[in-house]
Amino acid sequence: MKQYRMRMGPVFILILVLVSALIGVASAADEKGVVRSDATEAQLSLINELHGKDITVLEYMEMVHPEHLVGIPDSYKENMADLVGIPDSYKENMAGQKMTWWGKEPTPKNEQPAPDRATVTVSANGCKSDWRTIRFGGNCTASGLENPPWYIYVEAFLIDRDSGQTVDSTSASSQQGVWSVPASKDKLYPANGQYCVHAWGYIPTPYYAEDYDDTPVFSFP
């Protein structure tokens, strides 16, 4: 019996190693092609400086989050107005779409989307996680297409309600044809005050579609 146990010991360890490796591979596969970014102080400064400005989505992304544009063809960034036969309502993409800032209602559209037009749904979340942490994030999910969109983006902004300033931001994008992409972050040792989270997401192709969501105001601590 003792000899049997001695033989089983290395086998059991080998099984644990293999299981751990498989879990690691699965996690890596889930994250394949996903770019995640927590805003730097310079990016936060730009977000607050640009807030409310009359700029396009492409201008915002180029100035604040160029890391999420790597690998996107220029043809997906440019205005599609020169393409013949595409309805005007389908010609909006990152260069033709104005930024919708939080605290403002999106511009209403007169035309109804076609039955096969894609949509995106964004959800925001934020709360006091413990005595030193605010946990916040957002999720963007696409629907209405036969296949997943080639590109999908989401960003969550943690906003100080007293000052109106964005104090933190986290974002994620994927170019691997996924239906949904989440972004989340733990903000450690935030200042005492009132906060909310604004989440915003979009797909730029085959036509631009976006959505946003806001959490109720919550307190810290």
Q: Both tokens of residue 159?
A: 């906003």
- The string over 178-209, giving b where at least 16 C-beta atoms fall within 10 Å of a residue's C-beta and e elsewhere, is bebbbbbbebeebeeeebbbbbbbbbbbbbbb
Share of the chain above pLDDT 90, in %: 48
Ordered structural domains, the chain, with CATH: 35-220 (2.60.40.10)
pLDDT at position 199 over 70: yes
Q: Where is average pLDDT lowest: 73-77, 142-146, 170-174?
A: 73-77
How do residues 26-60 score in pLDDT, each as one tens digit? 233 346 578 999 999 999 999 999 999 999 888 89
Q: Where is average pLDDT lowest: 103-112, 137-146, 188-197, 208-217?
A: 103-112
Q: Are 218 and 195 in contact (CB under 8 A)?
A: yes
* pLDDT at residue number 166: 96
How do residues 66-116 score in pLDDT, each as one tens digit? 998 887 666 555 533 333 333 333 334 677 788 888 864 434 444 444 444
What span, in angstroms and rounded, lies between the C-alpha atoms of 206 and 146?
A: 11
Across 1-28, average pLDDT: 41
Q: Are 171 and 65 in contact (CB under 8 A)?
A: yes
pLDDT grade for 152, boundaries at 50, 70 and 90: very high
* pLDDT at residue number 176: 87
* pLDDT at residue number 21: 33
